[in-house]
Structure formats: C-alpha cells, structure tokens
Structure 1
C-alpha cells in the first residue's frame, strides 16, 4: 500500500482497538495511535516499503502508550508523596470486562493475546517479534486463555438465551 490515506483508513480502527485492549484507556489509545500515524507519515517514503507498515505503527503506538503510562505512574507517585493523600481512580464507563481481565495478565501474555486475537497475527510472527519460540507463544496464549476464562467465567450458549 503506497497511499498513506488508504493505509490510515485501513488500519487506524484495528490498531486503536489493539492498543485500547492492551492499555485499557480508549482516549489514550486514540491519541497514541494518531501520534504513531503522524510519525509514520513523516517517514512514509521509507515505511511504505516495509513488508508490514502496520506493524511499525503498532510498535510505535505501544512504545508511546508505555511511555505515557510510566509518566502517569510517576506523577501519581509524586502526588502521593507530596500531598500525603491517596489517588484513587474513579470508575471509567468505557472500560469493559475484557480489558479489565486482560490487565490482570502478565505483559507477555497480554501482548501475545492482543497480537493473536485482535491483530490476527500468526503464532510464528508473534514468536519472531517477541524473540521467542513458537511453543513459548503457544504457552503464553494457553495460559492467557485459562486466566481469562477464570476471570470472565463461562461463555453463554444459545440455550442460555432461549
């Protein structure tokens, strides 16, 4: 895909969902994905030649989100120390059960689950990106699914709705 507008239209939504599922904040996900696309646009001549330009944008977005999360955590710690009062997050209406459940997984499992089930990447590509064996990725996915099943409970069947 050489046209940036087409590339943006084709990938913005799915990348935003992936970052949202990984980090749990829809507004932040939209902002970091937009910032990642801005950086891609500035380098589009080179990035458009990549086998998978969306993977580059996803990595940049995740790096940006991780940096923001670290800054927020540092600010909260500073606030707690300087004011002596706890900072308590209020409930966020756009936070869904799956995002809550994903947040309980270790980072490698959460990342593998998002890449496999939201980004539809094959196990081999996840293994390559994470620099681990395919069996390791399969193990992360298996353990992640078990933990999500424990957290979310059984999936309702058609009979349950009848």
Structure 2
C-alpha cells in the first residue's frame, strides 16, 4: 500500500508539470500526454528503482522525453505534416504570448529548446539541467545563451506607436 501511496503522490505532484514540459518540447499536447502516461507506466513497473532515484520526477521527465523523441524518429513524415498543420490550429486558453513562445521554442535546436524549457520554465538549476541532459555544465550554459539570444530576437517587438513616432 505504501508503494501505491508514494507513486500516487509523485503523480499528483508532478504529472502536470511534466506534461507541460513535454508540450513545450513537442508542440503537441496529445503526444505530450501520451509520452507522460507511458513514462509513469514504466515508473510504476520499476517503482522500487525509481523511488530510490535522486529525483523520481526527473526520472519520469527524462523517460517521457525519450519516448517523445523516439516517437519523432519513428514517424518523421507524420510529425512534419502535423507541425505544418499545428501552426494553424487554435488552442483554447492560449493567448498571443503563449503562441509566440511556442513558435520561438520550435525554432531552437532540440538541445537549446530542452535546456531553455528545463531551466527557465521548469526552474531547474544549470547543474540540474546538465545532469538531466547528461551534458557538461558549460555545454548547457552555451545552449542557454544561444537559446536566449535566438528567442530574444524572435520575442522582442516594438510597440506600434513608438515605432511610427521614431
């Protein structure tokens, strides 16, 4: 019973965050939810090992990320078609800023996007991001700097009134 209670507590505490993380990485809420569900299934199957991990949440997030990447590799053509169509889809509850953020994230390399999402949107430290990505801290800092620089150019806009008066 203790195992089920601990697992349920982990799921309740972090499933939403992990779905959000995967959604930002994939741009597809259904794929994010599917990958997270599969990752939690695997976590339950290996609960004795996962519960002893430094961060069970990071374990699930890492497995879910790998599942999503594997899905991309298996269905490259389907994913490309989806991304073309997804740009035109209206997603309830998103405003212009959310859409701009998602579009900017999509333009980053996979490593830059993952580092930016983990650090800035999931509030992990650079060291935690490096551990999760299995990269040196310096490499993660480079991903973050490049990602911020690229996104800064994409997300900065001059207000119309100021631009027309200048």
TM normalised by structure 2 equals 0.78
- Could you tell me how far 1:28 is from its partner in structure 2? 1.0
Q: Which runs of 5+ in 1 are unaligned?
A: 81-86, 157-162
The match for 1:83 is none
Provide the C-alpha distance between the structure 2 equivalents of 1:14 and 1:88, rounded to a whole number of angstroms: 26
Cα gap change, 1:45 to 1:76, in 2 (>3 Å): closer
Provide the C-alpha distance between the structure 1 equivalents of 2:65 and 2:25, rounded to a whole number of angstroms: 9
Deviations 1:18-77 (A, max 9, x none): 000011011111111111111111111221111101111111111111122222314579
TM normalised by structure 1 equals 0.80
Pairing partner for 2:34 from 31, 43, 47: 31
Aligned residues: 148
Shifted more, 7-16 versus 42-51: the winner is: 42-51
The match for 2:140 is 137
Q: Structure 1 or 2: larger helix share? A: 2
Cα gap change, 1:6 to 1:114, in 2 (>3 Å): same
Cα gap change, 1:48 to 1:76, in 2 (>3 Å): closer
The match for 2:152 is 149
Shifted more, 106-115 versus 66-75: the winner is: 66-75
Pairing partner for 2:89 from 92, 97, 102: 92
Secondary structure in 2 matching 1:132: coil
- Give the CA RMSD over aligned residues: 2.6
Q: Which runs of 5+ in 2 are unaligned?
A: 160-166
